[in-house]
Amino acid sequence: MQYLWRTPGSRTTPEEASPISPSPLVIRDLTVAYHRKPVLWNVDYVAPPGGLIAVVGPNGAGKSTLIKACLGLVPKVSGSVEAFGRPIDKQRRLIGYVPQRESVDWDFPVSALDVVAMGRYGKIGWFRPVSRAHKEAALHALERVGMADFAKRQIGQLSGGQQQRVFLARALAQEAQLYFMDEPFAGVDAATERAVLHVLRDLDAAGRTVICVHHDLQTVADYFDHVLLMNTRVVAHGTVSRTLTPELLARTYGGQPVPFTEAAR
């Protein structure tokens, strides 16, 4: 039995949503407010099929909120979000999520493998335990981020970068088509940065779409193909070479200092 909360009777198989379907993500007129203060205002965005997309903007621009609103984790004031041509809450099995590392309690008594196996729960469904096949899939995902040796380790005994890689492996174990990642490069060591980048390129090569909140303007052009510049509203979006211009960045960051020294290309 699959988890079909909020959408009983509307089963979606991966075949139904083949890559031929429309854009992986269509956001229409999305507005989100916390305590009457708008955090996202009339956001419209159509993601190109496949590719690595960076969401860039100053602190408080609503980047994380955009991801959370897409995933249905914060209430929308208005607007709709579609994935592969259908409302996103009917496409859960096609969606992967890497939250910010600080969002969970790393003192929790579970191993790295347990956490990665959670990425398989959507495929396992109610009442059934995690089978050997699902554990092997989780272990394989850990291998892909270079963490197989730490599978049995309690998650609190891992370094920050290793914890980030566990989160990434969990998303890989979801075997999704569209990934949302909230600052996967934030505060990680060089080995983790390489591992995250490697995984992003693998996903890109496999035709997946990755939407990634990214804070470091220096590396946007190196790591991503597309960029969405935002500050509560969408300022601009498109390919990195055409969108990451000094003028558009200045508009995105308003009066705030743009957090890098030279304009990209």
Q: 205-231 as b/e, with b when 16 or more CB fall inside 10 Å?
A: eeebbbbbbbbbbebbeebbbbbbbbb
Check binding of 186 to other proteins (CB under 8 A): no
Q: How far apart are CA 153 and CA 112, in angstroms?
A: 6
Please compute Rg for the chain using Cα positions: 18
By the rule CB under 8 A, 41 interacts with other proteins = no
Instruction: Choose which of 47, 53, 114, 203 interacts with other proteins (CB under 8 A).
Output: 114
User: Which one-letter amino acid corresponds to residue 82?
Assistant: E
# binding residues, other proteins (CB under 8 A): 37
The dihedrals phi and psi of 70, each to the nearest 5 degrees, come to -60, -40
Q: Residue 104 interacts with other proteins (CB under 8 A)?
A: yes
Choose the binding region for other proteins from 23-31, 71-79, 184-192, 253-261 (rule: CB under 8 A).
Answer: 71-79
Which of 30, 39, 66, 97 lies at the binding interface for other proteins (CB under 8 A)? 97
129 binds other proteins, rule: CB under 8 A: yes
CA-to-CA separations, 255 to 63, 231, 258, in angstroms, rounded: 18, 12, 9
62 binds other proteins (CB under 8 A): no
Gap between the Cα atoms of 50 and 18, Å rounded? 12
Q: Does 8 bind other proteins (CB under 8 A)?
A: no
User: For residues 63 and 92, which CB has a smaller minimum distance to other proteins in the complex?
Assistant: 92
Residue ranges that bind other proteins, judged by CB under 8 A: 2-7, 68, 71-73, 89, 92, 95, 97, 99, 103-105, 108-111, 114-115, 118-119, 121-122, 124, 126-130, 154, 156, 170
